[in-house]
Amino acid sequence: MSLTVALTGASGFIGARLLPALLAEGHRVRCLVRRPLDLPGAETVTGDLANASALARLVEGADVVLHLAGAIKARDRAGFFRANVEGTRALAAASTAVGRFVLLSSLAAREPQLSDYAASKRAGEEALAAAFPGAWVVLRPAAVYGPGDRETLDFFKALSRGLAPRLGPASARLGLIHVDDVVSALLRALRPGGEWAAWELDDGVAAGHSWAEMIAAGEAAVGRSARLLPVPRAVLTAAAITAQGMGLLTGRPQILSLGKVREIHHPDWSRSWSWWGTVEGWAPRVDLRTGFGSTVAWYREAGWL
């Protein structure tokens, strides 16, 4: 059935893959954009999550809200909460006439004590539950990678130079998921099922992956072996302090922070019982080696690698 979908984050890494998939399924899509932007096939509303009139126009007549927009880096805790909590609360409050609201959160929300980012994602989920009277669904993807992702690009660049950085403990378990599987999960979330709960997304490997498995898959993708380079936590911490200082000086938020270091060193990012794969109609399709291979191929074609 064709739906009218109100979408935020359409120009981001995941949103850029989701929008064409929504249009291909025959849905009418209206996107919130910060500045005038040409999104072929979609209607746009210029504004942001702090603009009440823009939010009203975005959700008018919508059947479902898909909320992907948010901050993965900020200068301070207030910046994370402004984007990930207040923005979600404002959109939920504007959407009370909409029947369904799907929030793309993060697996980090499971461990809000680790970082300001994680705390803001959990608080954003709670803001949705408090402000939205209809059926809502929260999806918490593990680490998302795939074509167009800049956050994992450095990992593949290092491997292509013959170095395999291991940022966390060798015993850690890492949850991963390809962007196209996140897209398919969001498409499934348009339909009834899984209401009033937070669901975790991964690539179907319940125990997660080890660093060794991830590095081996990366080596296969770039086509060369690499020398293991364990990065001591002290070195990562020093780099995070430097990055945060640069962020304060330049006004440009940095992805690496002390909170991010705690996230990286968390021992277990494998899935819990609350897995979206238990909801009828969704299963991940991209395994790690296939996903890494297609990602590297895209990077090379785009001239990123």
Q: What is the pLDDT of residues 22-36, one digit of tens each?
A: 999 999 999 999 999
pLDDT 10s digits, 110-156: 999 999 999 999 999 999 999 999 999 999 999 999 999 999 999 99
Whether the pLDDT of residue 170 is over 90: the answer is: yes
| Average of per-residue pLDDT across 166-178 | 97
51: CATH: 3.40.50.720
Helices 211-222 and 153-160, packing angle to 10 deg: 70
pLDDT 10s digits, 61-86: 999 999 999 999 998 999 999 999 99
> Structure pTM?
0.97
| Average of per-residue pLDDT across 254-281 | 96
Domain count within the chain: 1
Q: What are phi and psi of 197, to 5 degrees?
A: -155, 160
Q: Is residue 269, in this structure, part of any structural domain at all?
A: yes
Q: Is residue 29, in this structure, part of any structural domain at all?
A: yes
Q: Is residue 304, in this structure, part of any structural domain at all?
A: no
Whether the pLDDT of residue 294 is over 90: the answer is: yes
pLDDT 10s digits, 1-15: 899 999 999 999 999
Q: Is residue 303, in this structure, part of any structural domain at all?
A: no
Contact between 128 and 85 under an 8 Å Cβ cutoff? The reply is no
Distance CA 25, CA 88 (A): 26
Alpha helix segments (H runs only) across 25-152: 52-59, 77-81, 87-94, 116-131
216: containing domain: 4-298
- Nearest in space to 241 (alpha carbons), one of 266, 223, 261: 261
* Paired residues of 4 in beta bridges: 28
Distance CA 142, CA 182 (A): 10
Q: Is residue 239, in this structure, part of any structural domain at all?
A: yes
